[in-house]
Amino acid sequence: MTDIFTPEKRSQVMSRIRGRNTKPELALRSMLHRMGYRFTVNGPHNRVLPGKPDLVLPKYRTVIFMHGCFWHGHAYCKNFRLPATRRQWWQAKIEGNRQRDQRHEDALRAMGWHVLTIWECALRNVAARDWLSARLPSLLGGPFVSRPAATAMVAEDATPYRAG
Which of 77, 94, 107, 128: binder of Zn ion (CB under 5 A)?
Answer: 77
Instruction: Compute the chain's Rg from CA coordinates.
Output: 19
Which of 74, 116, 118, 132: binder of Zn ion (CB under 5 A)?
Answer: 74
In whole angstroms, the minimum distance from the beta carbon of 59 to Zn ion comes to 28
In whole angstroms, the minimum distance from the beta carbon of 123 to Zn ion comes to 10
Of the pair 29, 74, the CB lying nearest Zn ion is at 74
Residues in 93-122 at the binding interface with Zn ion, rule: CB under 5 A: 119, 121
| Number of residues assigned to the chain | 164
Residues in 117-146 at the binding interface with Zn ion, rule: CB under 5 A: 119, 121
Q: Is 72 in the site for Zn ion (CB under 5 A)?
A: no
Stretch that binds Zn ion, among 2-10, 69-77, 93-101, 152-160 (CB under 5 A): 69-77
Contacts of 53 (CB under 8 A, 6+ apart): 45, 46, 63, 64, 65, 108
Q: Which of 77, 135, 72 lies closest to 104, judged by CA?
A: 72
Which of 27, 69, 108, 123: binder of Zn ion (CB under 5 A)?
Answer: 69
Stretch that binds Zn ion, among 62-70, 89-97, 100-108, 151-159 (CB under 5 A): 62-70
Taking CB under 5 A as the rule, which mask of x and - marks residues 18-57 in contact with Zn ion?
Answer: ----------------------------------------
Contact residues for Zn ion (CB under 5 A)? Answer: 69, 74, 77, 79, 119, 121
